[in-house]
């Protein structure tokens, strides 16, 4: 994990190909932006009335919830932006909030279309319906 954080900071600060090599982002800023992304995605998902946890049994549930996959999608998309050295304003905090909101909206409205639920072997219907 620490190698991932170091590599993210390295790419964000030294691999800037737009001629802004003196612009750097600190470890504290990266961690703060990740925490903001996670919190923003969970809060917006709860406001959109996604359940906090999926239905039981958790192991075989294909339901979306506020804790999974919403923050994981937000962290992944935000990591892509950091590696590409695009932090927008305030060392990535505004971008983190925007990505948190958009990931919650994606999970609420588009996740089942992009990643459909598997079919039941016996009836040919979706499992959780």
Q: Tell me the three state secondary structure of residue 4.
A: helix
User: What tens digit of pLDDT does each residue of 69-79 get?
Assistant: 999 999 999 99
Handedness of CA 49, 52, 56, 61 (dihedral sign): positive
- Which pLDDT value is given to residue 83? 82
Question: What does 67-105 look like in DSSP terms, one character per residue?
Answer: TTBHHHHHHHHHHHHHHTT--TTGGGHHHHHHHHHHHHH
User: What tens digit of pLDDT does each residue of 67-115 get?
Assistant: 989 999 999 999 998 888 788 888 889 999 999 999 999 999 999 899 8
Q: Are 129 and 86 in contact (CB under 8 A)?
A: no
């Amino acid at each position: 994990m620490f190698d991932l954080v170091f590599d993210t900071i390295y790419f964000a600060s030294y691999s800037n190909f737009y001629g802004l090599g003196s612009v750097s982002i600190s470890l504290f800023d990266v961690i703060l932006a990740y925490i903001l992304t996670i919190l923003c995605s969970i809060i917006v998902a709860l406001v959109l009335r996604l359940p906090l946890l999926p239905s039981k049994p958790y192991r075989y549930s294909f339901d979306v919830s506020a804790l999974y996959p919403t923050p994981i999608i937000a962290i992944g998309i935000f990591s892509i932006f950091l590696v590409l050295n695009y932090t927008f304003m305030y060392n990535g905090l505004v971008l983190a909030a925007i990505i948190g909101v958009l990931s919650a909206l994606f999970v609420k409205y588009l996740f089942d279309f992009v990643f459909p639920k598997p079919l039941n072997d016996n009836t040919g219907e979706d499992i959780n319906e």
